[in-house]
Structure 1
Amino acid sequence: MNIGIDKIGFHTPHLYVDMNKLAVARDVEPEKFTIGIGQEKMALAPKTQDAVTLAANAAQLILDENDKEKIDLVIFGTESGIDHSKSAAVYIHRLLGINPYARSIELKQACYGATAGIQMAKGHIALNPESKVLVLGADIARYGLNTSGESTQGAGAVALVISKNPKLLVLEEESAYLTDDIMDFWRPVYSDTAFVDGKFSNEQYISFFNKVWEKYKEKTNLALKDFSAICFHLPYTKMGLKALRTILEEGTEEEQTRLKKHYQTSTLYNRIVGNIYTGSLYLSLLSLLEQNDDLKAGSRIGLYSYGSGAVGEFFSGNLQPDYKEYLYTDEHLEMFDRRKEVSVEEYEAIFIDTLPSDGSDVVLNHTDDPAAIYLAGIEDNKRIYRSGK
């Protein structure tokens, strides 16, 4: 049975910061941000958007009534959860009107959560072929103002429908994965910003990639020549390129050129959004699918997922006939075009204007937020979500 990605949608907040202007404000050469890490814009979430609303907006774009009836499992990968007990997936289930006879759960392992969800979804569909699974990856990356990680912040969500006979990408059976207990990035429960050992994390990202790539080749007998493109988890767009360069010598000059070209295409969306943690790899895949002009049906796409702490996985899929007909390219590009730039001063004010943490009630002004689904406020320690303007 062919199982894979049937639909994919994306949502990001309507606000962004220009990285050139952020660099100037931080007394940094702009090229350090735009070339050194490869980022042009950084998405910024207002108080009316959190991981739940971002994911709900991404999913609402792609789900039809048939999907909502057949989905019997909702898996939400996030490290920006809003509750230590209640799954964010349960909120999504209600907001989207999904079949009530469904399981809804939340997964956590840094940026790897959505990939874990996809692998679980494959097993579920294998046992329940008429079902569909909604997998979500949504996060708001926060390191703090004037920190070393500030330039790799971002916000957004990716929603994927996993089913049999998918219209976009059939996921191949074999994958290679690795776990090691390391402290390269973490966020204790008492902190609303993350801690990161940047140099160590970069080293581990590449080390994990090399190990799972070798294990994948061993398990499949495939080689670099068998891949039309490889997509990476992108905390910033230069990170994946550093990893890709470590294996390029395994291919011919023509193969290297092809992979580097498609790599650049896969980074276009991430460059103007920033780091979205669990959804980052799939935003890269979406960018590749929507913006490439030469990938054909049958093309094998490699996927490298990395979640600090750490878990890494390399797996692959094959593009399906007429896949471009089933993408939401126009809607995604229109969303990017509607975004509004804020000044560095406005960004700083929005960043520190957070929701109350003392149990206070709050009513939020959502009139400036164009998203269909938003956070309206907090009442009796309960988040109040609204749909429709």
Structure 2
Amino acid sequence: MMTVGIEKMRFATSNLYLDMTDLAHARGEDPNKYLLGIGQTEQAVVPPSQDAVTLAANAAEQLLTKQERAEIAEIIVATESGVDHSKSVAIYVQRLLELNRYARAIELKQACYSGTFGLMQARDYVSLHPDKKVLVIATDIARYGLNTSGEVTQGAGAVAMLVSANPQIAVINDDSQFMTADIMDFWRPVDHDKALVDGKYSANVYRDFFKEVWQRYQDTTGLTLTDFDAMVFHLPFTKMGLKALRDVLPETDEAHAASLLAAFEASRVYSKRVGNLYTGSLYLSLLSLLANDTQLRGGQRIGMFSYGSGAEGEFFSLTLAPTFKAGLDVLGMEKLLDQRQQLSVPAYEELFEGALWGSADQKAQSKQDPAHFVLTGVQNQQRQYRRQTRD
């Protein structure tokens, strides 16, 4: 029997980070407010030489063999950090990675949710065309501004997923339940480069959405919490997912609750060190779970809660393949995070204010950026990208 799901996953982020203890001291806060109350220890900092396009390309490049580049029939990029109101990030990625010329390329937007819609679209396409593959990338840079309430939840990165028939990581089950409501908990007007958010309200809406779609999922499928070996959450900050999980733990026994909590801790290892990825946060959580939970086995069911402010939520499940570890690069992921350069708060603030914004001619210093793909600047109102080779 043919199944469809995630074949491989890879992640890319900046080579720079900020320690949350340093940020807390600079902002006159108790470090435990950030480390424990928010659940973040480090935050990716993006230099002007990186944007949603380069992060997406750097993540996807790690995935693809020459044959797979030719087999890709669709390139789906989910982001709320797009670089153009008209042209999709996916088309830039198609050129930079030299992907199949005869592939569709599209960009999706709905706050942090659209990566999930892209994954579902990919599953449905491959179900009809099992000889094809779809590249799904969730790429974002979370910006709230210096000295704002959301500053501690910034971050950046991209998760790339290859969707195929008979996948080696996980089957995407056809059991989704979703809901939508017009809610102003988070938004970014077209003339803003930073998000606006009602933080406490948004956190409450997130939990309300989770409880409602989770109940609807149980009513529709007949499954309960005891049928799940792990629950993975969109993590704008890691404490939020923990609160949502605790809301439903009374539905199971003490031993199973402890197991789910342990799985959650594994799922937030990477997010604590990177920060908010918007569209990619749920899938960085999944990547972290698969890499760090030693109790996972093929055939187990993983619950997935996707949320995007504004607001849209979805709950669905994955079934792990026995070969799921083969689709990951755990050592590469650890190396990526461990070899980053720590910034001082003043250096971080300078880079934050130096982000390329607008269409005026400008240059980005990319010589110190070790990434394969970099943004070199804007010329004639066009963003300029380059592939670098490193010795």
Pick the TM interval, shorter chain: over 0.9
Offset of residue 377 of structure 1: 1.5
Further displaced range: 18-27 or 372-381 = 372-381
Determine the structure 1 residue equivalent to 2:340. Answer: 339
Offset of residue 182 of structure 1: 0.4
One-letter code of the match for 1:129?
Answer: P
Offset of residue 325 of structure 1: 2.4
Q: Distance in 1 between matches of 2:209 and 2:85?
A: 29
Q: Distance in 1 between matches of 2:266 and 2:153?
A: 19
Whether 1:371 aligns to 2:371 is yes
One-letter code of the match for 1:266?
Answer: S
Determine the structure 1 residue equivalent to 2:228. Answer: 227
Once the two structures are superposed, what CA deviation does each residue of 1:342-384 show, in whole Å capped at 9, x if it has no partner? 0001111111112252x33223221110101111121111111
Decide whether the 8 Å contact of 2:169 with 2:326 is kept in 1: no
Q: Distance in 2 between matches of 1:325 and 1:353?
A: 39
Q: Distance in 1 between matches of 2:275 and 2:304?
A: 19
Determine the structure 2 residue equivalent to 1:26. Answer: 27
The percentage of aligned residue pairs carrying the same residue is 51
Determine the structure 2 residue equivalent to 1:141. Answer: 142
Once the two structures are superposed, what CA deviation does each residue of 1:39-72 show, in whole Å capped at 9, x if it has no partner? 0001000000000000100000111112111111
Once the two structures are superposed, what CA deviation does each residue of 1:170-207 show, in whole Å capped at 9, x if it has no partner? 01111100000000000000111000011110110000
Offset of residue 300 of structure 1: 0.5
Whether 1:86 aligns to 2:87 is yes
Q: Distance in 2 between matches of 1:96 and 1:230?
A: 33
Determine the structure 2 residue equivalent to 1:170. Answer: 171
Residues 26-175 of structure 1: pairs in structure 2 closer than 5 A: 26-175=27-176
Once the two structures are superposed, what CA deviation does each residue of 1:291-333 show, in whole Å capped at 9, x if it has no partner? 1111000010000000000000000011101211221111111
What CA RMSD, in Å, does the superposition of the two structures yield over aligned residues?
0.8
Determine the structure 1 residue equivalent to 2:190. Answer: 189
Q: Distance in 1 between matches of 2:109 and 2:169?
A: 26
SS at match of 1:247: helix
SS at match of 2:135: strand
Determine the structure 2 residue equivalent to 1:361. Answer: 361
Q: State how many pairs are aligned.
A: 388
Whether 1:261 aligns to 2:262 is yes
Whether 1:320 aligns to 2:321 is yes
One-letter code of the match for 2:361?
Answer: D
One-letter code of the match for 1:90?
Answer: I
Q: Distance in 2 between matches of 1:23 and 1:362?
A: 33
Determine the structure 2 residue equivalent to 1:329. Answer: 330
SS at match of 2:383: strand
Q: Distance in 1 between matches of 2:274 and 2:233?
A: 15
Decide whether the 8 Å contact of 2:137 with 2:161 is kept in 1: yes
Q: Distance in 1 between matches of 2:52 and 2:212?
A: 32
One-letter code of the match for 2:247?
Answer: T
One-letter code of the match for 1:367?
Answer: K
Q: Distance in 1 between matches of 2:326 and 2:24?
A: 39
Determine the structure 2 residue equivalent to 1:287. Answer: 288
SS at match of 2:62: helix
Determine the structure 1 residue equivalent to 2:388. Answer: 388
Q: Distance in 1 between matches of 2:231 and 2:262?
A: 10
Further displaced range: 347-356 or 94-103 = 347-356
One-letter code of the match for 1:52?
Answer: V
One-letter code of the match for 1:77?
Answer: A
What is the TM-score of this pair, normalised by structure 1? 0.99
Determine the structure 1 residue equivalent to 2:350. Answer: 349
Decide whether the 8 Å contact of 2:48 with 2:365 is kept in 1: no
Offset of residue 35 of structure 1: 0.4
Decide whether the 8 Å contact of 2:356 with 2:364 is kept in 1: no
SS at match of 2:375: strand
Determine the structure 1 residue equivalent to 2:238. Answer: 237
One-letter code of the match for 2:238?
Answer: T
SS at match of 2:290: helix
Q: Which runs of 4+ in 1 moved over 4 A?
A: none
What is the TM-score of this pair, normalised by structure 2? 0.98
Offset of residue 127 of structure 1: 1.4
Q: Distance in 1 between matches of 2:251 and 2:304?
A: 18
Whether 1:248 aligns to 2:249 is yes
Q: Distance in 1 between matches of 2:364 and 2:115?
A: 29
Give structure 1 stretches of 5+ with no counterpart. Answer: none
Q: Distance in 2 between matches of 1:356 and 1:281?
A: 27
Q: Distance in 2 between matches of 1:251 and 1:29?
A: 35
